[in-house]
Amino acid sequence: MTAEELRSLVAETSRVVAENSREVAENSRAIREMREESERRWEASERRWQESQRQWQESREEILASRRETDRLITSLERRLGEIGNAFGVYTESMFRPSLKRILRERFGMTVITAPQRFQINGADYEVDIVGHAGEASDEVYLVEIKSQLREDGIQQILEHLRRFQQAFPEHRGKKLFGILAAVTIPENLRIQALNQGLFLATVKDDMFELSTPADFVPRPFGLRGLSPGS
């Protein structure tokens, strides 16, 4: 290889090296720019995510606060409705108790009428709104429950009282117990259910309670041996 050829080779090699260096520099710059852009995008995404988390947390706290307030209002409303219901029940009892006592005296001949009658069996408390009988010589006792609106649990309540009553009052054991359900409103299905259980029904007429059992109704005498509510 001549000196001229060697110079040409060195010059060409230098040129190639210079071009490669430029390409490497450009590639490095491009990679750096891509990395910087990726970092900017990641940081922007991170900021958006953090903002979303902050907004979600604020929304969650607002929702929880709203739910707590709603629960508080519901609880307050339920308590208020319960107070109103109890007050209406007391009002119903006090307003219509005289007409029920009249029914016990005039319709059934009861001479001893107590209201209310409380008793306890096995630690459980019971209260009958009105109890009527005609003294020791009488073999009949009438238990009256007064409701503003009759519900199924009202039927079960008086049946439970009829079943338990003679345990607390042995002086009435062996007597015939009759149940009277008195309610301002009685749904038809519960009216039929109560009559099928042998219970007298009384509803409001002209601002006083009147018996509303059909003419062919046959009451069930509870308390006798072999007879109990639901038998």
CATH code assigned at 136: 3.40.1350.10
| Nearest to 114, CA basis, from 101, 95, 99 | 101
159 located within any domain: yes
Query: Does residue 19 or residue 82 have the better pLDDT?
Result: 19
Q: Which H/E stretch holds residue 116?
A: none
22 located within any domain: no
179 located within any domain: yes
134 located within any domain: yes
Residue 203's φ and ψ, nearest 5 degrees, are -130, 165
163-206 pLDDT, tens per residue? 988 888 888 888 999 999 999 889 999 999 999 999 999 988 77
Q: Can you give the pLDDT at residue 83?
A: 55
Average pLDDT, the chain: 81
> What range defines the domain where residue 120 resides?
98-211
49 located within any domain: no
104-146 pLDDT, tens per residue? 999 999 999 987 878 888 888 888 889 999 877 778 999 999 8
CA torsion angle for 100, 105, 108, 109 (degrees, to 10)?
A: 170
Q: How far apart are CA 112 and CA 85, in angstroms?
A: 30
pTM here? 0.60
Q: How far apart are CA 57 and CA 60, in angstroms?
A: 5
178 located within any domain: yes
Query: Does residue 56 or residue 87 have the better pLDDT?
Result: 56
Total domains present in the chain: 1
8 located within any domain: no
DSSP of 171-204: GGTTSEEEEEEEEEE--HHHHHHHHHTT-EEEEE
DSSP of 34-88: HHHHHHHHHHHHHHHHHHHHHHHHHHHHHHHHHHHHHHHHHHHHHHHHHHHHHHH
36 located within any domain: no
Q: Which residues contact 104 (CB under 8 A, 6 or more apart)?
A: 110, 113, 130, 132, 142, 144
